[in-house]
Structures are given as structure tokens and as C-alpha cells.
């Protein structure tokens, strides 16, 4: 199976790194029986140091991470009841690389490659763009600051992959605490449909819209507000749900291959048995029977793995029903 990769896109300062830290903080302690671990000690230490800062209100502005200036990869595992469901890679890169006019071409290539190989895309839209009470202006801001930079990459993805489905996409409204009093679900939808219209026109794409925040009063009193995360777990649940779906489909394909192998051996055994007894090879028949039983036990192993995965898959699917703004192949889920 290909490595599971999640890429997070968004202009500089839109909250990508904070989202990662907040999500890891929330999920490393566990939620709904799920947890996320970083098996690499150095990565884990780096993440813990950074999220400790994020939760330390006494640091004021210094609680936030520095602007990211190089691509960073993190390896995580999603666990349920401390059993690993799936490992995945998270790619965090500098938002300034998205800007075609400013980025070095090596940066652009890195971004392109990580989008191209991603199991799911997370696109951050800074909640600050949704402040005020003029919807048209909000659409203009999101267009200018976000979709204008991201759409060319999506267009390219579509071109390179003609005939292949788009990866599932979570449109994440970051810093929702800044705009929640000045917007609502329906307006968010209008703004995003207005600023990312080609995306919503596609009939092969799964899209969720999730407002997230690190804390409802985070910005108060010179950034000394309490860290109290909202919805940080949902985008990652969506990504893992799709990864599981692909994984289960892979396992089913392997079962089909094993079944075909068994039927080939059975045919060979029948042909051999039909031979005149002087030419019949009992050794061959015996070795083919052994192969058949190896394939049968492999099928049983794969079927057990599918049932274990299916439980996680169904459980995650239930969690995803809490996302109201979900679009499946161009239609809003009722």
C-alpha cells in the first residue's frame, strides 16, 4: 500500500502549523477512543515542546510557532484503544512557497509533488477573512488571499491526473474564534462556493467544510486567552476514513488475486488427475494442494484484517456525520 500522506495548504499565517500542533495536542491525549502518536522520539519531542508553548497563555504572542521556513514532514500513527489503525505522514510547508511569484521553483516543485501524492488535502482559509458583515467582500478576500494561490495547483492536479479522481478535501476555516460572531454556516458556504467555484462544480470530489479554532478567547488580552480547541480532530478523521476506505479496497483486491490463484491450482490438479496413471505426478498434486492451503490461510488473514478495519471505518464514519457541510460528488449531503 502507498504511504498515506496528508498535505495542508494555505497562505502564510493562515494557521497551518498551529493547526498541526493543536491537533496533535488534542489527539495525543485521546478522543472518542482515538489517539495520535508520533513514533519518532525527536519529532515527538519537537511537537511536545511547541504545543506546550501554544497552551502556555503566559507567553502571550510568543506562544505561537515561528513562521515555517522549510518543508517539514511528520510521521504519525492513528490508534484506537492503543492499537495502531494506520500510520500517516503529515507535510507542513511554508505558506510563502504557495505564492508563484515569490517562491523558488524548487519550493513549487516540492508543493506540487506533495499535493500530487496526497491521500487527502487540507486547505486552510484564515477566519480573519470572514470578519465583518459584507458577504461579497468576504468572497473577494478569500479569493484574493487563498483560492487565487491554491486553484492553479488544483488545476494542475486535474491536468496531470486526467481520468483520476481528486483526493478528498477538507476546507478548514482556521481561527474561527475571530469570525464566529460575524458569520454562520450558510454564509461560510456561500463564501467558499463563491471563491472556490470550480471545486464545487466537480462531480468526483468529496469536500467537507470544518471551522476550527485553538480557543474562543485566544486573541484576548494580548494572546493570553485559554487554549480550548474546537473541531481540530474532524479533518484528520476525514483523512483517515478515506485512507481506510482505500486500504480495505486494496485488501479486497488481494483476496480476489488469491482466489484466482486457488482456482488455477484446482484446475491444474484436475488436469493432472485426468492424466493416464503412468504419467500422473502425485508430488505435483501434493505441492499444489499445499499452495492452495497457504492461499486459503492468507485469505482468512486478510478477511480478519478487513473486519478489524471495517470497525474503525464505521466508527469514524459516525463521527463524520457531525460535519454539516459535506459535499459528495458535487451534491450537498442531506
Ligand X SMILES: Nc1nc2c(ncn2[C@@H]2O[C@H](COP(=O)(O)OP(=O)(O)OP(=O)(O)O)[C@@H](O)[C@H]2O)c(=O)[nH]1
- The span from the CA of 306 to the CA of 88, in Å, is 19
By beta-carbon proximity to ligand X, the closer residue of 20 and 299 is 20
- The span from the CA of 201 to the CA of 209, in Å, is 15
- The count of chain residues that interact with ligand X, using the rule CB under 6 A, is 22
Residue 107 binds: one of Mg ion, ligand X, none (C-beta under 5 to 8 A by kind)? none
Q: Minimal distance in Å, beta carbon 108 to Mg ion?
A: 17
Asked if 123 touches ligand X (CB under 6 A), the answer is no
Question: Of 123, 175, 183, 240, which one interacts with ligand X (CB under 6 A)?
Answer: 175
Question: Of 17, 114, 129, 295, which one interacts with Mg ion (CB under 5 A)?
Answer: 17
For residue 78, the cross-strand partners are 36, 86
C-alpha distances (whole Å) from 255 to each of 19, 96, 264, 293, 303 are 39, 45, 14, 14, 8
Q: Which residue is nearest to ligand X (CB)?
A: 95
207 touches 169 (CB < 8 A): yes
For 12, other C-beta atoms within 10 Å of its C-beta total 17
For residue 89, the cross-strand partners are 5, 75
List the interface residues with ligand X, window 4-23 (CB under 6 A). 10, 12-18
List the interface residues with ligand X, window 205-234 (CB under 6 A). 213-214, 218-219
By beta-carbon proximity to ligand X, the closer residue of 71 and 309 is 71
C-alpha distances (whole Å) from 151 to each of 154, 179, 279 are 5, 24, 68
By beta-carbon proximity to Mg ion, the closer residue of 118 and 183 is 118
C-alpha distances (whole Å) from 205 to each of 42, 120, 166 are 36, 11, 6
List the interface residues with Mg ion, window 36-95 (CB under 5 A). 68
By beta-carbon proximity to Mg ion, the closer residue of 15 and 211 is 15
Q: Minimal distance in Å, beta carbon 243 to ligand X?
A: 23
- The span from the CA of 326 to the CA of 332, in Å, is 6
By beta-carbon proximity to Mg ion, the closer residue of 16 and 138 is 16
Residue ranges in contact with ligand X by CB under 6 A: 10, 12-18, 64-65, 67-68, 94-95, 174-175, 177-178, 213-214, 218-219
Amino acid at each position: 500500500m502507498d504511504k498515506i500522506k496528508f498535505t495542508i495548504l494555505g497562505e502564510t499565517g493562515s494557521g497551518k502549523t498551529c493547526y498541526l500542533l493543536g491537533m496533535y495536542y488534542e489527539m495525543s491525549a485521546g478522543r472518542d477512543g482515538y489517539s495520535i502518536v508520533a513514533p519518532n522520539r525527536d519529532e515527538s519531542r519537537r511537537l511536545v515542546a511547541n504545543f506546550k508553548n501554544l497552551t502556555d497563555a503566559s507567553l502571550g504572542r510568543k506562544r505561537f510557532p515561528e513562521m515555517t521556513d522549510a518543508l517539514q514532514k511528520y510521521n504519525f500513527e492513528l490508534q484506537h484503544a492503543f492499537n495502531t489503525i494506520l500510520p500517516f505522514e503529515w507535510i507542513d510547508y511554508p505558506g510563502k512557497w504557495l505564492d508563484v511569484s515569490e517562491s523558488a521553483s524548487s519550493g513549487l516543485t516540492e508543493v506540487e509533488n506533495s499535493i500530487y501524492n496526497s491521500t487527502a488535502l487540507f486547505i486552510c482559509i484564515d477566519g480573519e477573512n470572514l470578519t465583518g458583515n459584507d458577504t461579497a467582500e468576504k468572497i473577494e478576500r478569500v479569493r484574493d488571499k487563498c483560492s487565487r494561490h491554491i486553484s492553479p495547483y488544483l488545476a494542475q492536479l486535474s491536468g496531470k491526473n486526467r481520468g483520476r479522481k481528486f483526493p478528498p478535501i477538507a476546507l478548514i476555516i482556521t481561527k474561527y474564534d475571530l469570525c464566529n460572531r460575524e458569520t454562520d454556516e450558510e454564509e461560510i458556504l456561500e463564501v467558499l462556493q463563491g471563491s472556490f467555484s470550480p471545486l464545487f462544480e466537480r462531480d468526483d470530489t468529496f469536500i467537507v467544510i470544518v471551522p476550527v479554532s485553538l480557543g474562543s478567547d485566544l486573541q484576548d488580552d494580548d494572546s493570553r486567552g485559554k487554549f480550548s480547541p474546537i473541531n481540530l480532530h474532524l479533518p484528520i478523521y476525514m483523512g483517515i476514513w478515506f485512507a481506510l476506505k482505500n486500504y480495505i479496497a486494496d485488501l479486497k483486491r488481494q483476496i480476489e488475486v488469491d482466489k484466482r490463484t486457488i482456482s488455477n491450482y484446482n484446475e491444474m490438479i484436475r488436469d493432472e488427475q485426468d492424466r493416464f496413471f503412468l504419467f500422473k505426478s502425485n508430488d505435483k498434486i501434493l505441492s499444489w494442494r499445499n499452495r492452495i492451503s497457504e492461499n486459503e490461510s492468507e485469505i482468512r488473514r486478510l478477511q480478519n484484517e478487513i473486519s478489524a478495519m471495517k470497525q474503525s471505518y464505521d466508527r469514524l464514519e459516525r463521527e463524520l456525520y457531525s460535519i454539516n457541510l459535506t459535499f459528495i460528488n458535487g451534491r450537498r449531503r442531506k
